[in-house]
Amino acid sequence: MTTHLHMLPPSVNNLAVRVFLRAANLPFAEENAWGKTRTPEFMAKIPAHLTPAIEHKDHPRGAMWESCAIMMYLANKHKLEALYPSDPERRALIDSANFYLTGSLYPLIARSTYPRMGFPGYAGEVSATQEASAELKASARNAAEGAIAEPLEVFRTYFVRDGFIGDGPTPSIADIRLASTLEFLAINDTHLPAWCKDYIARVEAKLGKFYTEPAADVRGFIAQTKKAS
Ligand SMILES: N[C@@H](CCC(=O)N[C@@H](CS)C(=O)NCC(=O)O)C(=O)O
């Protein structure tokens, strides 16, 4: 059964599910959601107006969103042991990494990279506050960039170590989510730590074109954005 994926090519939230669908060898169709997420048709199916979102006929609402939840659902449904092991302890590492990423690391990445990417900030953030001066916006962005080092170090010492998240021989859904997310840091001034570069290369070496092909959309967008700045 084909999974219909609504996606935005430059987005790392989307990249995670795009890599996952390829690595899982599941039949899928991708539709570019650019300019469509706030339309009544889209919001009737996906009221959160977020991508990645999938339409799947077995799902009780017919559609769902949230990158990690989508990967968990499809991995559970198709019993994808290598990507999402059922062993409770290995799964605990993977779930903890994914929740920590979306809850703690990603907000810092969004606040530091979105202003440079030209993506809108979230309501209440300095970057999305019209009255805030350019200086204040730059200072808030810099503070977010500076704060990334700490959660990254947690990923290095606790989750990744020298292998993959979940302690398996191949990347799990948490590795797909983390490697994809790290791609955005290329737009920041802080150099990506060497371990992150090694880690992305390790994930990419195992997944091959399943990673490289969709990652080219994000990498191309960042290169274009840097050139224009
Ligand atoms: N936590 C979500 C974040 C999803 C998200 O922020 N999606 C953005 C693109 S990166 C989006 O589709 N925005 C379109 C809109 O809000 O209309 C996930 O991991 O899937």
Q: Tell me, what CATH number does 212's domain have? A: 1.20.1050.10
Q: Are residues 200 and 127 in the same domain?
A: yes
How is 108-131 classified by DSSP, letter by letter? HHHHHHHHHHTPPPPTTSGGG-TT
Q: Give the integer Cα–Cα distance in Å for 195 and 139.
A: 27
Question: Residue 49 domain-assigned?
Answer: yes
Question: Residue 209 domain-assigned?
Answer: yes
CB of 51 closer than 6 angstroms to any ligand 1 atom: yes
The pLDDT tens digits of the residues spanning 9-23 come to: 999 999 999 999 999
Ligand 1 centroid – CA 89 distance (Å): 29
Domain end among 18, 46, 77: 77
Burial of 40 (0-12, 13-18, 19+ CB in 10 A): exposed
Q: Give the integer Cα–Cα distance in Å for 214 and 201.
A: 15
The pLDDT tens digits of the residues spanning 89-118 come to: 999 999 999 999 999 999 999 999 999 999
Task: Report pTM.
Answer: 0.98
Atom of ligand 1 nearest to the CA of 53: 20
- Summary mean pLDDT of the chain: 97
Atom of ligand 1 nearest to the CA of 70: 20
Q: Are residues 73 and 129 in the same domain?
A: no
pLDDT score recorded for residue 156: 98
Closest residue to atom 11 of ligand 1, CA basis: 50
The pLDDT tens digits of the residues spanning 41-63 come to: 999 999 999 999 999 999 999 99
Q: Is a pLDDT exceeding 90 seen at residue 1? A: no
Confidence of residue 229 (pLDDT cuts 50, 70, 90): confident
Q: Are residues 215 and 147 in the same domain?
A: yes
Q: For residue 168, which of 86, 62, 103, 111 has the smallest C-alpha distance? A: 86
The pLDDT tens digits of the residues spanning 103-156 come to: 999 999 999 999 999 999 999 999 999 999 999 999 999 999 999 999 999 999
Q: For residue 101, which of 34, 161, 16 has the smallest C-alpha distance? A: 16
Q: Are residues 110 and 161 in the same domain?
A: yes
For residue 66, how many other CB atoms are within 10 A of its CB? 16
Query: How many domains does the chain contain in total?
Result: 2
Ligand 1 centroid – CA 169 distance (Å): 30
pLDDT score recorded for residue 82: 98
**CB contact at 8 A, 58 and 4:** no
Q: Which residue would you say has higher pLDDT here, 87 or 229? A: 87
